[in-house]
């Protein structure tokens, strides 16, 4: 690899936070199980989530909250309905 090719290669490795956030934008959605407190912060309209239920968030590649549900299957169905690729976050 010559010097010019090395520089091009390094440029491909350098990615800004904004560019990273846009990877998969409109193509990928993340599914993450949340506790009640985190869900209320991510979804401010959720004022009084009941204790002891499972909550699953569907979040866009850029971190935008898209949906909140009480089952992983429903979250997956939401992702598939919008022709996105589901990714599970642990």
**Domain ranges within the chain, ordered by starting residue:** 3-89
Reported as a pLDDT band with limits 50, 70 and 90, residue 72 is very high
Tell me the CA distances in angstroms from 65 to 6, 10, 13, 29, 38, one per residue in order: 38, 33, 28, 10, 12
Q: What is the mean predicted confidence (pLDDT) over 63-85? A: 92
| Structure tokens belonging to residue 16 | 């800004």
Q: What is the pLDDT of residues 12-61, one digit of tens each?
A: 566 566 655 555 556 789 999 998 888 888 888 887 777 788 899 999 88
Which pTM value belongs to this model? 0.67
């Amino acid at each position: 690899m010559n010097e010019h090719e090395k520089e091009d290669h390094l440029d491909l490795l350098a990615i800004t936070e904004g560019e990273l956030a846009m990877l998969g934008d409109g193509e990928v959605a993340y599914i993450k199980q949340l506790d009640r407190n985190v869900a209320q912060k991510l979804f401010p309209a959720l004022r009084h989530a009941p204790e002891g239920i499972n909550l699953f968030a569907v979040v866009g590649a850029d971190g935008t909250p898209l949906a909140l549900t009480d089952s992983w299957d429903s979250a997956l169905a939401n992702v598939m309905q919008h022709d996105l690729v589901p990714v599970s976050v642990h």
